[in-house]
Amino acid sequence: MSQEQVYSDAGFGQSVPRGTRPAIVVVDFSYGFTDTQYPTAADMSAQIAATRSLTDKARALGLPVIYTTIAYQPWERDSLPWLKKASGMAALLAGSRLVEIDAATGIQPADPVIVKHGASAFHGTNLAGLLTGASVDTVIVTGATTSGCVRATVVDAVQSGFNVLVPRDCCADRAEAPHEANLYDMNQKYADVTDAADIAVWLDSLA
């Protein structure tokens, strides 16, 4: 039996309903992830450009665009379990350039920036309340990394009651294998994995 058949027989891979009030959450396109002078980063220029094509459109339609960054205080470096497992993340100190959103994303002064201390953009933040307050019913998740913070955000978005879309060409990772494996798994269980062109057409249909 094929892998696709196994998932289909188990009832996975159904289509996600699309609402009428989407928001775009751009996960961790900060310099610590996007500027390759830092060891925690990778070249994400293509994914940033694809994401920007959507965020520019969303703003023009009056839809929320929200960014996230990971930023730690010095005292957290020795106390958080995640930083013992992923010690490179300890370089993401509050106030440093590494935690600033990459200007190539086209971030605007009015765009909210959620500061998080773990993988999910929902855990320990006010993101769910921000989305609910804006009457959002569908969350488009982009950013980095696909296998880490994007996936964690997608799972928590579903668990927070939102329909979720993931444009694959707007998500970046440090390696191809975890990128593809997690896109596949998210598409089966939590979100519709699509692309920027499809999302753009849908956003235009809402105008």
Active site residues per annotation: 149
User: What is the number of other CB atoms lying within 10 angstroms of the CB of residue 122?
Assistant: 25
Show Cβ contacts of residue 79 under 8 Å, excluding neighbours closer than 6 positions: none
Q: Which two tokens stand for residue 29?
A: 């396109």
